[in-house]
């Protein structure tokens, strides 16, 4: 038995069986390539599910993180630390939001956003029966609050009862949103581009109509930018493409490019009328290590114009996937923006993804019948060509 198989068997006997993992043990990465423990090379079109936006082995990023490891990792939020303050400045500048709360993950950021909305509404009328509208086919995370607003029943059912007073509308169907609104509605939450649900972008018209409803009724608009944010669609945050600003937003994944960090942000208006001392907290959130990673990520994004690059290579990827889509009867639809795209098939895609892995290409699904393309944002057109060649062989 090879070393790879030995490790896989050890993992299977020790780890909880909550993932159907691909049969590979990755060891290290360089640029846009990963290497398994036997030295085989792979072209990465998953980037750790949208986390490794800058690719692997980026010296200045690694150096910044290492330097902070030698300085200070943790102090708790009873004290200030410079990396978190600098990170807050950077994320405010990129997003145009006003107040930041750092978390360790996307799900935690969503939890904080939901608590913000409930507290904002509670301070207005003292009631505790407020409702939140979420979207069908959405994905916001696995913790109870985030799961409660995740619009896929099979994820929620075994863990009922969820947090209450959630209603589900359809993305890009404004009438379905209006039908859910009551005098108890305190927030509408959605991904600006749905990720796990199959790469469905919100339309500009829909976002603007939802924003108008929220303005009219003093409902908070929460935009989840965990997967579609951090430059993946060609602007720092996908909502910036549409000019529709949320009251609260969540971010994570590529925010730290490998160090586990997240954040929820809000406007000054919401910040002054929601969470106060004692309402929310975290032991690790905003630690100096996470702060140092975030700061370096924003520096690299700005200096190397990462969002602009994602837009440019993303439109090339779109052309190439359009060609494949047009040439095949089994492809139902091609959707996406920038370097967040999907091909929907009329059959399961697991075989295609496994064949690609054998040929040294890392792809991932979204649902059973969609191949999702989430490469590092630093890929070049030549990498797109290389991926397309392998994909065609696998089809």
Tens of pLDDT, residue by residue over 218-254, are 999 999 999 999 999 999 999 999 999 999 999 999 9
Instruction: Give CA 176 to chain center in angstroms.
Output: 25
Residues of the chain with pLDDT under 70: none
- Count CB atoms within 10 A of the CB of residue 305: 13
pLDDT value for 155: 96
What was the pLDDT predicted at 48?
A: 97
Determine contact, residues 186/219, Cβ cutoff 8 Å. Answer: yes
pLDDT of the residue at 1: 77
Residue ranges of domains in the chain: 3-58+305-394, 72-303
Exposure b/e, 250-289, CB count within 10 A at least 16 = b: bbbbbbbbbbbbbbbbbbeebbeebbeeeebebebbbbbb
For 183-208, give the DSSP string: TTEEEEEEESEESTTT-EEPPHHHHH
Whether domain 72-303 has CATH 3.65.10.10: no
The answer for residues whose C-beta is within 8 angstroms of residue 137's C-beta and 6 or more apart is 151, 152, 171, 194, 197, 198, 200
- For the domain made up of 3-58+305-394, give the CATH fold: 3.90.1150
Q: Of 148, 147, 152, which is closest to residue 136 (Cα–Cα)?
A: 152
In the chain the first and final C-alpha atoms are separated, in Å, by: 31
CB of 137 closer than 8 Å to CB of 198: yes
Gap between the Cα atoms of 326 and 214, Å rounded:
39
Residue 210, C-beta contacts closer than 8 angstroms, at least 6 positions apart:
174, 177, 188, 190, 221, 244
Q: Do 64 and 288 meet the contact criterion of CB atoms below 8 Å apart?
A: no
């Amino acid at each position: 038995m090879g070393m790879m198989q030995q490790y896989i068997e050890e993992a299977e006997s020790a780890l909880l069986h909550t993932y159907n993992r691909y049969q590979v043990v990755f060891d290290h990465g360089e640029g846009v390539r990963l290497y398994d423990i036997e030295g085989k090379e792979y072209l990465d079109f998953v980037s750790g599910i949208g986390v490794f936006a800058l690719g692997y082995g980026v010296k200045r990023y690694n150096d910044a993180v290492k330097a902070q490891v030698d300085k200070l990792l943790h102090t708790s939020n009873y004290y200030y630390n410079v990396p978190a303050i600098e990170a807050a400045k950077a994320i405010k500048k990129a997003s145009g939001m006003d107040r930041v709360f750092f978390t360790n993950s996307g799900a935690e950021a969503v939890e904080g956003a939901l608590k913000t909305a409930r507290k904002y509404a509670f301070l207005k009328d003292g009631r505790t029966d407020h409702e939140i509208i979420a979207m069908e086919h959405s994905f916001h995370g696995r913790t109870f609050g985030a799961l409660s607003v995740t619009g896929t029943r099979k994820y929620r059912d075994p863990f009922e009862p969820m947090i209450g007073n959630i209603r589900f509308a359809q993305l890009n169907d404004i009438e379905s949103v209006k039908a859910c609104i009551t005098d108890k509605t305190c927030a509408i939450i959605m991904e600006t581009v749905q990720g796990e649900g199959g790469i469905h972008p919100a339309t500009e018209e829909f976002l603007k109509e939802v924003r108008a409803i929220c303005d009219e009724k003093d409902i908070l608009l929460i935009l989840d930018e965990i997967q579609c944010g951090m430059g993946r669609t060609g602007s720092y945050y996908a909502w910036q493409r549409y000019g529709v600003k949320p009251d609260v937003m969540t971010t994570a994944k590529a925010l730290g490019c490998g160090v586990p960090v997240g954040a929820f942000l809000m406007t000054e208006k919401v910040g002054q009328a929601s969470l106060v001392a004692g309402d929310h907290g975290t032991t690790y959130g905003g630690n100096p290590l996470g702060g140092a990673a975030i700061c370096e990520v924003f520096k690299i994004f700005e200096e190397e114009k990462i969002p602009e690059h994602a837009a440019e290579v993303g439109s090339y990827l779109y052309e190439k996937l359009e060609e494949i889509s047009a040439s095949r009867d089994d492809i139902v639809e091609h959707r996406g923006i920038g370097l967040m795209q999907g091909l929907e098939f009329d059959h399961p895609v697991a075989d295609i993804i496994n064949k690609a892995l054998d040929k040294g290409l890392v792809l991932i699904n979204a649902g059973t019948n969609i191949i999702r393309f989430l490469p590092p944002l630093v890929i070049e057109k030549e990498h797109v060509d290389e991926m397309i060649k392998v994909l065609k062989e696998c089809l």
